[in-house]
Structures are given as C-alpha cells and as structure tokens.
C-alpha cells in the first residue's frame, strides 16, 4: 500500500516516528513548505518530499499526522491543491481529533477516518473510526505493520479521550491529594508516595476482579460519621484538601448513582 504523509511541526514528536513499520510504507511527504517536508524525510529516513498535494497519486492513502492546531491549515492546503477528492481516502492520526475534523474533505468526496495510536500496550494497538472504506484501508495498512486494530463506533473518539483524561489528568490530582493527606498525617514524603502506590494497586486489583461492585459509597455520605469526622478534621488543618475531598466524593457518588440507574430500570422491567 502506498502511504502519503501530510505533516507539520517536529516529526520527531509525531506518532508516526514511533512506529518504524509504518515509516517503511511512506512514499510522498507533504508539509507546509518543501524544506519542512525534506526535514521530515531526513528525520524519518523514509519517504520522498513533494511540493504540492497535487503531486501525490490519488491511489495513495493520505495520512495527516500533525499537532492539533496545524490540522485545519493542512486540510485547507489539501482542498486548495485538489478541489475534487472523490475516490480518495484520508486518515487523520491524532490523540484528540477524529474524522469530523476532515468534514471539508468529506464534502468534496473523500472517504475519511481517524486513527489513535495507543501507548498502553507492549505491542502496537490502534483505535480506528470513520467511513467504511477508509477504515478498511487503514486497517489493512496497520495490520501490515503487525499492529492490532480496535474499530470503534463512528464519532466514538470523545469517549476514548474522556477515559484517557479520567485516568490521567483527573486521576493525578486525586493521587496528589491522597499524598498530601498522608503528609498532613505526619508520614514522610517518600513513604507517603509508596503508600499511595500500594493503595492504588490494591484498588486496581479489586476493580479488575469485580468492576464497579468494589465501590460502595455511603447512601447519605453527608451524615456518615466516619466521613463527617474526616472532613471536620481536614477542614481545621487544610481547608483546600477538605473542600477537594468533599467535591471529589460528591462527584463520584453522583456518577455512580447515575451509571447504575439504567441497570435498576432493566432489572425491574
């Protein structure tokens, strides 16, 4: 399969550079300037720099891999160079954007999809969504590189990114708050980190065995004696931690109550 790469910015930070098997498939390389395209080819040690999208054969699978803020500019360049995209397949490689961000090309006849490289596994895994034809070609390309393809629902990317944020951006402050709480108890910093690590490891093991059943929030936590005492003691020593603790607990209780409600309705039907 002939793969055309459209890129911008530093190629060394691009997901493509992390997968040598994909680099072997790259033919034409287009960037905002010919000089940038040449630099990308040299960095990748693969591909051939081209000056215009019009120089790329229609049979290629067009792979856009660039920082989020650069993608709209690349798409505009593609449309300006080739107004008619009927019969062409375009795939966007991004950890936050999806095929909806290729709507301009789709309106001009392109078959569009998106792919997200997953860094959570020892072997390459990819999430793919989009139109059937583009998804099929993307799957063929990735499987040729010995990657595993997980096809998700069209427009399913926001649910993946939400999961990634919950497990990182939102989890990290919780871990920091737990560490601060242990330090406020008088536990030295290195040991506090180790204790939080063990707590999280135990929670993950329990979650792996029983899922959300391992989490049993108090039905009326505002009047729960243990939590009342925790909040009262924390408020006297660390108001910020106390407020964060209560807000996090409130959010967790609301989410678990909402997520379990549909199961109750089904069970009672």
Contacts 24+ apart (CB under 8 A), 136-144: 137/1, 137/61, 137/89, 137/91, 138/61, 138/89, 138/91, 138/113, 140/1, 141/1, 141/3, 141/22, 141/25, 141/61, 142/22, 142/115, 144/1, 144/21, 144/25
Decide: 75 and 104 in contact? Cβ < 8 Å: yes
- Domain spanning 3-157 has what CATH number? 3.40.50.720
pLDDT tens-digit map of 190-238:
999 999 999 999 888 888 887 777 666 655 444 455 555 555 555 556 6
Record the pTM.
0.76
Domain ranges of the chain: 3-157, 165-268
Q: Which of 184, 180, 193 is nearest to 201 (CA)?
A: 193
Cα 125 from chain centroid? 12
Decide: 22 and 1 in contact? Cβ < 8 Å: no
> CA gyration radius for the chain?
24
User: The sheet that has 148-151: what strands, in order across it?
Assistant: 48-49, 26-30, 3-7, 61-65, 89-93, 111-118, 125-130, 148-151
Tokens matching residue 116: 């997200």
Listed as ranges, residues in the chain with pLDDT below 70 are 1, 214-238, 241-242, 245, 253, 256-269
Tokens matching residue 33: 């300037």
pLDDT tens-digit map of 233-264:
555 566 776 677 677 777 776 776 666 554 44
């Amino acid at each position: 399969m002939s793969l055309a790469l459209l890129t911008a910015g530093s190629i060394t930070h691009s997901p493509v550079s992390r997968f040598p098997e994909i680099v072997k498939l790259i033919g034409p390389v287009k960037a905002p300037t010919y000089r940038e395209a040449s630099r990308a080819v040299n960095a990748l040690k693969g591909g051939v720099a081209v000056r215009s999208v019009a120089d790329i054969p229609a049979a290629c699978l067009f792979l856009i891999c660039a920082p989020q803020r650069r993608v709209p500019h690349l798409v505009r360049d593609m449309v300006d160079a080739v107004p008619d995209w009927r019969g062409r397949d375009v795939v966007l490689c991004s950890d936050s954007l999806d095929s909806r961000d290729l709507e301009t090309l789709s309106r001009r006849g392109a078959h569009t999809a998106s792919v997200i490289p997953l860094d959570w596994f020892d072997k390459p895994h990819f999430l793919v969504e989009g139109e059937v034809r583009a998804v099929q070609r993307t799957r063929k390309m990735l499987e040729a590189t010995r990657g595993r393809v997980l096809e998700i629902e069209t427009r399913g990317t926001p649910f993946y990114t939400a999961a990634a944020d919950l497990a990182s951006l939102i989890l990290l402050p919780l871990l920091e708050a737990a560490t601060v709480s242990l330090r406020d108890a008088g536990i030295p910093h290195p040991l506090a980190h180790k204790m939080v690590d063990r707590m999280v490891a135990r929670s993950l093991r329990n979650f792996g065995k029983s899922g959300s059943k391992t989490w049993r929030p108090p039905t009326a936590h505002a009047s729960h004696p243990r939590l009342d005492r925790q909040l009262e003691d924390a408020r006297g020593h660390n108001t910020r931690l106390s407020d964060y603790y209560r807000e996090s607990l409130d959010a967790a209780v609301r989410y678990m109550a909402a997520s379990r409600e549909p199961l109750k309705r089904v069970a009672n039907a």
